[in-house]
Amino acid sequence: MLKSIHRSSLLSAIVFVGCGVGLAGAESASQPEITDPHFQLAPGYLAKKDLPDSLVLLGPPPADSSAALARDEEFRAATIPLRGTPRWDLARADADLQFPQPAKNFSCAMGVDINEEKTPHLYRLMQKVLTDAGLSTYGVKNTYNRTRPFVVHNEGTCYPDQEPLLRTDGSYPSGHTAAGWAWALVLSEINPERADVLMKRGMEFGQSRVICDAHWQSDVDAGRIMGAATVAKLHNNAEFISDVAAAREELKTAGAVEASSCMAEEAALSAR
């Protein structure tokens, strides 16, 4: 059974940093939600033994003085002009993994307002995929405990409230990116007519971590591998398959998202 965990440990699980206290011991999707007055995180579809193994799928993070690390620094430097812009604000929104924010972040790309009332199966599916994709990163994350770019450069991120936890937790791979890419792939399967837009949003969700100075580009690249690996595993899970089918049915009656509500997001993503 999932153990009760205090607020800081739960927040660590929400942002997919740290050792995954409580969540890392999850064994099945039949367990109750982890809750406290501030946060709620649904159990995933996959038992711990069925999660993809990041220690098998990923190598170590870039070594000091390597060409790969130089690439990471180059990507980071390219995002500096975006700080304080609407794209920075969008990256801040992407950093918030507490629902309903992730549902809002993908509603424009999905073309429908994803929310607990109108699309409950889709909403719940996103919550559960978040847990599975995030947990898939812990093996490598905890093994290498890579220092994050904002710590290396003595800077801040777009989400200061998360910084105390991020300073001591591994950067590689990016759990946010794993979740964002898994969402993009799953939502594209549910709504294939929007697949290109959804996958572009999933790519940008990962890039938000570089823009926020919370992750290196190689963290994001590795996170996408784990997100895709998680989705591959999910296709062997009967509950997930059933929820995908139910989510497709919901789309038939779900109202289209208001175009005016997506204008700011579109502008932020196009202003590069």
Structure tokens at 136: 């898939």
Active site annotation includes 153: no
**Any catalytic annotation for residue 219?**
yes
Judge whether 135 and 26 are in contact, CB under 8 Å: yes
209 part of the active site: yes
Catalytic residue among 76, 176, 194, 201: 176
Tokens at residue 159, please? 């989400």
Question: Is the Cα dihedral 199, 95, 135, 59 positive or negative?
Answer: positive
Strand duo 34-35 + 40-41: pairing:
antiparallel
Task: Please tell me which residue in 72, 132, 213, 219 is annotated as part of the active site.
Answer: 219
Q: Which residue is catalytic, options 76, 87, 146, 215?
A: 215
Active centre residues (catalytic): 176, 209, 215, 219
